[in-house]
A and B are shown apart, each in its own frame.
Chain A
Amino acid sequence: SQTIHQWPATLVQPVGSPLSLECTVEGTSNPNLYWYRQAAGRGLQLLFYSVGIGQISSEVPQNLSASRPQDRQFILSSKKLLLSDSGFYLCAWSPLVRLLGSPLHFGNGTRLTVT
């Protein structure tokens, strides 16, 4: 069966420090990978998605970047964190593009607090 791992679970970082969140998927090949941010009591905002190695689409211009160095590895990064980057970050995968009715499978998220 497929599993998704996301770490760390919580992170406290000072303003201006770099960020690296990692996500890996097991048990599937060539997954579609996503990074979302969830604000408290609100929906999920898509940050980045990837349909293959080295292929990254950014949905919202911001202080973050993403990379996919391997088929089942997705990394969310920042060179200098802002206070507004605080939030709950979720990695997800889907076997097909969402247009074809493919559900998303989420990791357990990273709670990031920028101080």
Chain B
Amino acid sequence: DAKTTQPPSMDCAEGRAANLPCNHSTISGNEYVYWYRQIHSQGPQYIIHGLKNNETNEMASLIITEDRKSSTLILPHATLRDTAVYYCIADSGGSQGNLIFGKGTKLSVKP
């Protein structure tokens, strides 16, 4: 599965949009882009995923560039509860099944 690169940390003011970038320049055609987040001592929480098209759900929006080499997760109105580590994953669900979470981005939402 493709390796992803994310900034180690970001700050966002409460109520503002949080835009979290992810680079996956070696992504292959059958790999989906997934975003999860994890609050300390809890299991990862699924946020959103996509293959080629931009996606939106009740939690966030996912913007994938046309060449699929990068994506951005957008939390439209960040709250203090959105403070977490966010992981971008390129995954084809291959036979090994391991999820390479990397180090993610520590998002701190500040009042």
Contact = CB atoms under 8 A, between A and B. Distances in A.
Interface of A: 6, 34, 36, 38, 41-46, 49, 59, 90, 92, 97-109, 111
B87 to A, nearest CB: 9
Nearest to B93: A98
Given A97-B93, A99-B92, A104 B99 contact: yes
B92 A107 contact: no
15 contacts: A36-B99, A38-B101, A44-B99, A46-B96, A46-B98, A46-B99, A59-B96, A98-B93, A98-B97, A101-B93, A104-B44, A105-B46, A108-B42, A108-B43, A109-B43
With a 10 A CB-CB cut-off, give which of B41, B97, B102 has the most chain A CB atoms.
Answer: B97
Nearest to A101: B32
Given A105-B46, A108-B42, 6 more contacts: A43-B99, A43-B100, A44-B98, A98-B93, A104-B46, A104-B99
A101 B44 contact: no
A90 B44 contact: yes
Contact of A103 (B46, B92, B100): B46
Interface in B14-72: 32, 34, 41-46, 49, 51
A101 B46 contact: no
B97 A43 contact: no
B19 to A, nearest CB: 21
Q: Which of A42, A49, A59, A99 has the most CB of B within 10 A?
A: A99
Contact of B93 (A41, A99, A109): A99
